[in-house]
Amino acid sequence: MNALHTAAIPIIADPILRADGLGRVFSTRAGEVVACEGIDLEVYPGELLVVRGASGAGKSTLLRLLGGLDSPTSGEVWVDGRLYSGLTQEQSVELRRDDLAFVFQSFGLIPVLTAAQNVELPLRMKNVDATARDARVAEVLALVGLTDHAAQLPDELSGGQQQRVGIARALAVRPRLLIADEPTAQLDSGNASVVMDLLAGLAADGIAVVVATHDPDLAARADRVLELHDGRTRSQPARHRA
Ligand SMILES: Nc1ncnc2c1ncn2[C@@H]1O[C@H](COP(=O)(O)OP(=O)(O)OP(=O)(O)O)[C@@H](O)[C@H]1O
Q: Are 193 and 217 in contact (CB under 8 A)?
A: yes
Looking at residue 157, its pLDDT comes to 94
Pocket test for ligand 1, best of 33, 34, 55, 104 (most atoms within 8 A of CB): 33
Q: Are 160 and 195 in contact (CB under 8 A)?
A: yes
Residue whose C-alpha is closest to residue 98's, from 62, 78, 127: 127
Q: Is the CB of 33 under 6 A from ligand 1?
A: yes
Looking at residue 12, its pLDDT comes to 60
Q: Is the CB of 55 under 6 A from ligand 1?
A: yes
183 confidence band (pLDDT: 50, 70, 90)? confident
Residue ranges per structural domain of the chain:
45-71+89-235
Q: Is the CB of 61 under 6 A from ligand 1?
A: yes
* 231 CA: nearest ligand 1 atom: 14
Q: Is the CB of 60 under 6 A from ligand 1?
A: yes
Q: What counts of helices (H) and strands (E) characterise the chain?
A: 7, 10
SS3 state at 147? helix
Taking the model in full, what pTM does it have?
0.86
Pocket test for ligand 1, best of 22, 25, 26, 182 (most atoms within 8 A of CB): 26
Which pLDDT tens digit goes with each residue over 62-71? 999 999 889 9
* 63 CA: nearest ligand 1 atom: 18
Q: Are 96 and 67 in contact (CB under 8 A)?
A: yes
Looking at residue 235, its pLDDT comes to 56
Q: Are 191 and 15 in contact (CB under 8 A)?
A: no
Q: Which CATH number fits domain 45-71+89-235: 3.40.50.2300, 3.40.190.10, 3.40.50.1000, 3.40.50.300?
A: 3.40.50.300
- Supply φ then ψ for residue 202, to 5 degrees: -65, -45
SS3 state at 117? helix
**Within 70-188, where are the H helices?**
89-98, 115-125, 130-143, 159-171
HSE-up of residue 130 (Cα within 13 Å, Cβ side): 0
Whole-number average pLDDT of the chain = 87
Closest Cα to atom 6, ligand 1: which residue? 26
HSE-up of residue 180 (Cα within 13 Å, Cβ side): 36
Average pLDDT over residues 71-83: 91
Tell me how long the chain is: 242
Alpha-carbon span 120 to 235, nearest angstrom: 37
